[in-house]
Structure 1
Amino acid sequence: MVLDALLAERHVSRAAIRLNKSQPAVSHALARLRALFDDPLLVRHGGQLQPTVRALEIAPRLTEALAHMRQLMGSHAFDPSQERHVFRLAMSDYAALVLLPQLMAVLRRQAPNVDLLVGQASREVMMAQAVDGEIDLALGVFPTLTEDLRTSLLFEEDFACLADAASLDGEKTMDLPAYLKRPHILVSLRGDTGNEIDLALAAGGHKRRIALALPHWSVAPGLVLGTDLVLTVARRILPRDAEAGPLTVFDPPFAIPPFAFRQIWHRRRDADPAHRWLRDLIAQALVPPEADLAIARR
């Protein structure tokens, strides 16, 4: 258990929290494991513990063995109201906005001793972190996965446009020529045009002008107000009350394929009761009531 926590957390203090033990107790346990395996197992590098080659060889077999032991001992249930647990998640700014408000409200009511450590990384890095055991779960868009990774579809997302209502002269929508004449905001980690929106435009022989590229989904809608800018983003990122104010939400004047939003994890965590509980909870948190779903898809 101690080695599993250390390999997952890469930090003695965080492993101690995960195990509900003192930091000295975890340090002493690590010293005994190093002697047992005749290997350092974890070495400090850049302020973090990095696993040795031997530790990386042990990690997947250790996790699977622990899962089997829990099953053999009858530990099929995870009681979120009583048990203490720390989960490490990776997700984008978009995922945090659409998931965390609902998820944290449920966690605080149902699982007051469950904590989340959330990080952000590129799609490729998140998949590598899941494989290496650095995170428990990643959320995002993953068109392809390695055979060691498991996935479940959370929802399919489409796109919507946002513009300052005053700049539309009373119109509620925009045709393609008008859309292409406008300057645009692009939300992208890398600031390039290799995204669903620009690829869809390019397929029709069109190109838009990007006046602002930034990596922050959360601030993008507010940058439209008082300008001639157009923001085309995943629909769920837009404020639910956007159309009640000085902004107008409308469908893109060209077809953009929807994307699948998923959660992914390593197969060694399949049988972990706590992990299964979290996956189910996330799926439930992202299912809106019928009324909200109608608003989101209008």
Structure 2
Amino acid sequence: MNNIHGIDLNLIRVFDALLEERSVTRAGDRLGLSQSAVSHALAKLRLLLADELFVRGPQGMHPTPRAMELARPLRAALVEIATALSAPRFDPSTSEMTFVVATSDFYIGGLFPRVMARIRQEAPQIRLWLRMFNDLNLVEELDRGTLHLVVGAFGRIPARYRREPLIGVEMVWIMRRGHPAASSPLTLDTLGRYPHVDILLSGRAMPDAAAMQDQEGLERAFVTSDPTHLEGLLREAGLSRQVGATVPLILAAPPLVAATDMVALVPRSVAQTYRDTYDLALFDSPYPRPPTQIDMLSHNTYGAHPSVAWLRALLLDQLAAQ
């Protein structure tokens, strides 16, 4: 028989049981089938394979040479199928999986070194591919399973995604320590007088892009400083906002601020890390500004796989340990 489409998987199960039990009755008991059902399946197999397969003898059913030839590959195939259809398993200590995570330069440098250190301890053969999410189509890649996780700031998300809060990021204003306004408390007047460095997490969006943009039902933060809110406050005070530079990376802001009279809003941890390197002055916001909520997104289907669930738990654990 050359046409695999003529084979019913249940026939292979009957063949394997007969090979093991050497009895139609015992094979039926093992499979939960009647004796007549096993005999009928054996008749089908004999017809399909053009061989008797089992010959009745005084001590039961004896396999023919053709049956013995088929025994090992068919049993291995049954084991492979059973393994494939069983609940997914994941052992980080032996896995060679590559995880793909999209995020910003801030988290690549701030969170993932600790995550990678933990992975090297628990799963030394796993690879982490960290991708800048600036110009990725996150919806398309999450839906295709080519992205396992996304870490960033989001508004509304499609129902097919899972959102897990990671951390609230406190933002501060920075300027160079020798800045004309560095010796006084930061005010709205200062923010209206000096140009800003805007951080636009995209290489394609226009410089005046809205802070939150919709990508096929996924609202994603593009501009870290929420300029619309600040511009409204400045307008009420009779002031306006000037933009001196727009950059695609959070970590690009400190050196630009250090070399000019521009100001920028950045995560506090970034400002503290580079305070001495770039001789920066740090200021709390002069207007109420809640921390920026950073979430982890995964697809409800792909994210439920034990491997991705392990990585999700690892990230949550690392942030909880801070």
TM-score, length-scaled by structure 2: 0.61
Find 2:123's aligned residue among 105, 111, 114: 111
Instruction: Give identity over the alignment, percent.
Output: 24
For residues 316 and 291 of structure 2, the distance between their equivalents in structure 1, rounded to whole angstroms, comes to: 19
Match of 1:69 in 2: 86
- 2:132 is equivalent to residue 154 of structure 1: no
Q: How does 1:1-298 map to 2 (within 5 A)?
A: 69-70=86-87, 75=89, 78-122=90-134, 125-168=137-180, 171=183, 173-188=185-200, 189=202, 190=205, 191-192=207-208, 194-195=210-211, 196-204=225-233, 205=235, 206-240=239-273, 242=275, 246-287=279-320, 289=322
Question: Relative to structure 1, is the Cα distance of residues 170 and 201 closer, same or farther in structure 2, using a 3 angstrom cutoff?
Answer: closer
Q: Secondary structure at the match of 1:89?
A: strand
Query: 3-state DSSP class of the match of 1:150?
Result: strand
Distance (whole Å) between structure 1 residues aligned to residue 182 and residue 299 of structure 2: 51
* Residues 161, 92 of structure 1: alpha-carbon distance in 2 compared, 3 angstrom cutoff: same
Q: Letter of the aligned partner of 1:247 in structure 2? A: L
1:219-264 per-residue CA deviation (whole Å, 9 max, x = no partner) reads 2212211321111123333243516862111112223343221111
C-alpha displacement of 1:67: 9.6
CA distance in 2, matches of 1:161, 1:187: 13
- Tell me the C-alpha RMSD between the 2 structures: 2.7
CA 1:67–1:194 in structure 2 vs 1: closer, same or farther (change >3 Å)?
Answer: farther
Kindly provide the amino acid, as one letter, of the partner of residue 197 in structure 1.
Answer: D
Q: CA deviation at 1:193?
A: 5.2
Q: Which moved more, 1:157-166 or 1:89-98?
A: 89-98
Deviations 1:131-178 (A, max 9, x none): 222211111112111111111000112320111111146626321112
Q: Which has the larger radius of gyration?
A: 2
The 8 Å contact of residues 123 and 141 in structure 1, kept in 2 or not, is answered as no
Distance 1:221 1:170 in 2: 15
Equivalent residues of 1:225, 1:247 under 8 A apart: yes
> Partner of 2:245: helix, strand, or coil?
strand
User: TM-score, with normalisation over the residues of structure 1?
Assistant: 0.66
Question: Once structures 1 and 2 are overlaid, which stretch shifts more, 167-176 or 268-277?
Answer: 167-176
- Contiguous gaps of at least 5 residues in structure 1: 1-65, 290-298
Q: What's the offset of the Cα at 1:183?
A: 1.3
CA distance in 2, matches of 1:157, 1:122: 19
Q: CA deviation at 1:215?
A: 0.4
The answer to which of 211-220 and 126-135 deviates more is: 126-135
Deviation, 1:182, is: 0.7
Once the two structures are overlaid, the 10-residue window that deviates more, 260-269 or 122-131, is 122-131
User: Do 1:89 and 1:117's aligned partners in 2 also have CA atoms closer than 8 Å?
Assistant: yes
**Structure 1 residues 226 and 202: alpha-carbon distance in aligned structure 2, compared to 1, 3 A threshold:** closer
- Residues in 2 aligned to 1:207 and 1:223: alpha-carbon distance in whole angstroms: 21
Cα displacement (A) at 1:278: 0.3
SS at match of 1:283: helix
Letter in 2 for 1:192: D
**In structure 2, do the counterparts of structure 1 residues 207 and 109 end up closer, same or farther at CA, with 3 Å as the change threshold?**
farther
